[in-house]
């Protein structure tokens, strides 16, 4: 192999005594550096797995490492062109460094969902993820080798000769890789079958493969306006003298069911809701393990299983509610509605409903991030700004929380509402004691408890004009260091329960239950009944009085308790 090819040097004269390096030399050395150092989380993970505890297991790890190195060498050999090799290796190393940090620090897995999350991350979320650990990874894994790479002269070889060498290099790497695989076929097959997550930890191929798959997935989706859903949607006749519904749907963020006092948690994370007549459902499964995956699924009539495989572009729950004649409003205190609110009235919580009613001091920081209480500010004015004819028929308000969004949990709560101390005041969760991480997270749950209690109190003030109700459900859960995992976003099939088990709370006052013909005792008895995000669409339809052929009573969280 011409790894030290001394063909015509790149520069003449003074540089003639210093032969240029073959692009393949740079490619193979970069593959070795990336495979060994850039994939340290993979080797750490495998070394600690019980499946590879014995001597035979350690030998397999070495063989698997050899296969990974050969795959990287084959891939990098495709980049080994005179003028392209340095820029392309720069991209690969700068991609590998942060991947190593996030995989190693938080246990994330790189797939299409995680790439989508990254693409939808805003400036504030990016800031939360910055830290000295990330900088150290970039310096060691990327900048140090790049300084050396960019100081090297690259040999000048005719393109057809270079093509031949590159093809030979790819063939050699693949041959060695296949040979290593053949030496441990049974172990490799078992690993690929039982530990698929390992293949999604090979950087930077994981991110490149997931990005390409995401592009293909996007191309499959039909262009143009969304497909109409529930064209027959209409409001059910309301008895004379009855009041229109006011449904307040609070979409939680990153709240996990196990940390709710209402669901049996041993810490007082729900001191205010515990004093109110709410129903907390303890066995609710999320549609996904990230906002990007869960949110669109929650507002679809399809349910999780059909939604995951459905490439179409369909109308959402909000479109159907609006078509039926209701006033709909989405108020966002997060990174956006993922397209769900594009066709209905919507507002950013940081923007006041009226110029003469500014946001109260202390609710928003200079960087634009606000505490969740900001969404409750001047809600009457927000409703007054909607079509009055629609308001007279009923209102559905959606509040999209910042909630327990990590890793900077400590930023989600005001200083005066931090009952659990000491808390982790860093985004580098792995550097904090787990007890402090839990304290910071539990503070966010306690603050959500306060926000929901205030929302219920506000709804009570609207009871003269409306029949109010509140539905709270989180989009997904969170890992807090269990099994060395932090945050969320694991592939659903292998995600731990903490990332998929979410809280769901209903507040239905007596007048609303009577108007809805709901049996309160029945609702209470269903608190431990297994449910899922599949029911949100149909529950909101029924609570808002919308009739349509797509409604499924068996998915409606309260449908089984409706009398008559």
Q: Please tell me whether residues 278 and 183 are part of one structural domain.
A: no
pLDDT level of residue 5 (50, 70, 90 thresholds): low
Q: Is the pLDDT of residue 226 over 90?
A: no
Q: What average pLDDT does this structure show over 209-216? A: 89
pLDDT of residue 159: 82
State the residue for tokens 């900048």: 143
Range of the domain at 42: 13-219
pLDDT at 6: 45
Q: Which two tokens stand for residue 236?
A: 């059910």
Q: Is residue 226 part of a domain?
A: no
User: Which of 166, 201, 219 represents a domain boundary (last residue)?
Assistant: 219
Structure tokens given for 221 = 């989706």
What's residue 106's pLDDT? Answer: 85
% of the chain residues with pLDDT over 90: 69
170 and 302 together in one domain: no
**Residue 90 falls inside a structural domain:** yes
pLDDT digits (tens, 9 = 90+) for 65-110: 999 999 999 999 999 988 999 999 999 999 999 999 999 988 888 8
Across 507-536, average pLDDT: 95
438 lies in some domain: yes
SS3 474: strand
Both 531 and 460 in a single domain? Answer: yes
Do 433 and 369 share a structural domain? yes
Whether 458 and 373 map to the same domain: the answer is: yes
Name the domain boundary from 178, 204, 219: 219
Question: Looking up tokens 């402090």, which residue turns up?
Answer: 436
The mean pLDDT value for 54-69 works out to 92
DSSP assignments along 218-281, one per residue = HHHSPPSSPBP--TT-EEPP--TTPPPEEEEEEEESS--GGG-GGGT-SS-S-TTGGGS--EEE
- 387 part of a folded domain: yes
Domain CATH number, residue 310: 3.40.720.10
User: Does 252 share its domain with 211?
Assistant: no
Q: In the beta sheet, which residues pair with residue 227?
A: 314
With cut-offs at 50, 70 and 90, classify the pLDDT of residue 18.
Answer: low
Q: Is residue 1 part of a domain?
A: no
Could you tell me the pLDDT band of residue 12, with boundaries at 50, 70 and 90? very low
Contact 329, 346 (CB under 8 A): yes
Per-residue pLDDT, averaged over 50-69, amounts to: 90
Counting the structural domains of the chain, the total is 2
Instruction: Let me know if residue 237 belongs to a domain.
Output: no
Strands 486-487 and 479-480: antiparallel
Closest CA to 348 of 503, 122, 114: 122
Whether residue 555 is contained in a domain is answered as: yes
Q: Are residues 475 and 327 in the same domain?
A: yes
- What integer best gives the mean pLDDT of the chain? 91
494 has a pLDDT exceeding 90: no
Neighbours of 264 (CB within 10 A): 10
What is the per-residue pLDDT for 446? 98
Assess whether pLDDT exceeds 80 at residue 397.
yes
Radius of gyration from C-alpha coordinates of the chain: 28
Residues 250 and 191 in one domain: no
pTM for the whole structure = 0.84
Token pair 């009235």 in the structure block, residue: 345
pLDDT at 563: 85
Residues 297 and 427 in one domain: yes
- Rounded CA-CA distance 351/354 in Å is 9
* 60 and 137 both lie in a single domain: yes
Q: CA–CA separation, 401 vs 416, rounded Å? A: 19
Lowest-pLDDT choice from 1-15, 226-240, 292-306, 372-386: 1-15
Look at residue 405 in the predicted model and tell me its pLDDT: 94
Asked if pLDDT for residue 198 goes beyond 50, the answer is yes
Question: Does residue 167 sit within a domain?
Answer: yes
The per-residue pLDDT for 126 is 78
248, β-bridge pairs: 397, 470
Give me the mean pLDDT over the 111-115 stretch: 84
| Whether 197 and 338 share a structural domain | no
pLDDT band at 425 (very low <50, low <70, confident <90, very high): very high
Question: Quick one: average pLDDT of 432-439?
Answer: 97
Residue 10 binned pLDDT confidence (cut-offs 50, 70, 90): very low
Domain boundary among 219, 236, 261: 219
Give the model's pLDDT for residue 261: 98
| Alpha-carbon 446 to chain mean position | 22
pLDDT of residue 311: 58
Quote the pLDDT of residue 123. 74
* pLDDT bracket for residue 533 (50, 70, 90): very high
pLDDT at 8: 43
pLDDT of 130 higher than 90: no
User: Do residues 181 and 289 share a domain?
Assistant: no
Tokens, residue 438: 């839990």
């Amino acid at each position: 192999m011409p790894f030290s090819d001394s063909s015509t040097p790149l520069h003449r004269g003074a540089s003639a005594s210093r032969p240029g390096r073959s692009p393949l030399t740079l490619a193979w050395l970069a593959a070795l550096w990336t495979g060994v150092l850039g994939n340290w989380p993979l080797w750490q993970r495998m070394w600690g797995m019980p499946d590879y505890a014995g001597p035979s297991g350690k030998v397999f790890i070495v063989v698997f490492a050899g296969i990974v190195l050969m795959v990287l060498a084959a891939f990098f050999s495709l980049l080994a062109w005179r003028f392209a090799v340095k820029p392309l290796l720069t991209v690969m190393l700068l991609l590998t460094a942060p991947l190593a940090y996030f995989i190693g620090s938080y246990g994330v897995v790189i797939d299409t969902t995680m790439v989508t999350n990254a693409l939808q991350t805003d400036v504030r979320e990016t800031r939360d993820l910055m830290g000295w650990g990330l900088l150290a990874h970039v310096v060691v894994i990327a900048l140090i080798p790049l300084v050396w790479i960019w100081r090297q002269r690259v040999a000048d070889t005719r393109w057809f000769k270079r093509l031949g060498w590159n093809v030979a290099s790819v063939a050699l790497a693949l041959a060695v890789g296949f040979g290593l695989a053949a030496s441990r076929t049974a172990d490799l097959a078992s690993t690929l079958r039982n530990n698929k997550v390992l293949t999604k930890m090979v950087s930077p191929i994981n991110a490149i493969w997931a990005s390409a798959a995401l592009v293909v997935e996007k191309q499959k989706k039909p262009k143009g306006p969304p497909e109409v859903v529930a064209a027959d949607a209409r409001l059910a006749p309301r008895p004379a003298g009855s009041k229109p519904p006011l449904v307040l749907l609070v979409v939680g963020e990153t709240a996990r069911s196990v940390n709710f006092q209402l669901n049996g948690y041993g810490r007082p994370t729900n001191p205010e809701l515990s004093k109110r007549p709410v129903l907390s459902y303890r066995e609710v499964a999320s549609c996904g393990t990230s906002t990007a995956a869960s949110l669109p699924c929650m507002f679809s009539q399809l349910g999780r299983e059909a939604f995951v495989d459905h490439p179409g572009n369909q109308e959402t729950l909000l479109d159907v509610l609006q078509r039926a004649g209701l006033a709909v409003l989405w108020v966002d205190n997060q990174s956006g509605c993922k397209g769900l609110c594009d066709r209905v009235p919507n507002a950013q919580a940081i923007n006041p409903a009226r110029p003469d009613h500014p946001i109260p001091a202390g609710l928003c920081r200079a960087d634009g991030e606000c505490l969740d209480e900001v969404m409750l500010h001047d809600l009457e004015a927000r409703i007054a700004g909607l079509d009055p004819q629609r308001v007279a028929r009923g209102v559905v308000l959606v509040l999209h929380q910042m909630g327990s969004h990590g890793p900077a949990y400590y930023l989600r709560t005001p200083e005066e509402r931090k009952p659990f101390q000491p808390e982790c005041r860093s985004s580098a969760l792995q550097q904090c004691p787990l007890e402090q991480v839990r304290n910071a997270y539990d503070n966010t749950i306690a603050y959500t408890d306060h926000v929901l209690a205030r929302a219920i109190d506000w709804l009570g003030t609207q009871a003269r004009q409306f029949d109010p109700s509140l539905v709270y459900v989180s989009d997904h859960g969170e890992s807090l260091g269990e099994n060395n995992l932090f945050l969320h976003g694991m592939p659903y099939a292998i995600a731990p329960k903490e990332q998929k088990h979410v809280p769901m709370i209903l507040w239905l006052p007596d007048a609303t239950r009577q108007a809805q013909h709901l049996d309160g005792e029945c609702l209470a008895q269903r608190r431990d009944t297994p449910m899922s995000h599949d029911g949100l669409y149909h529950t909101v339809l029924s609570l808002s009085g919308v009739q349509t052929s797509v409604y499924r009573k068996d998915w409606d969280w309260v449908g089984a308790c409706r009398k008559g």
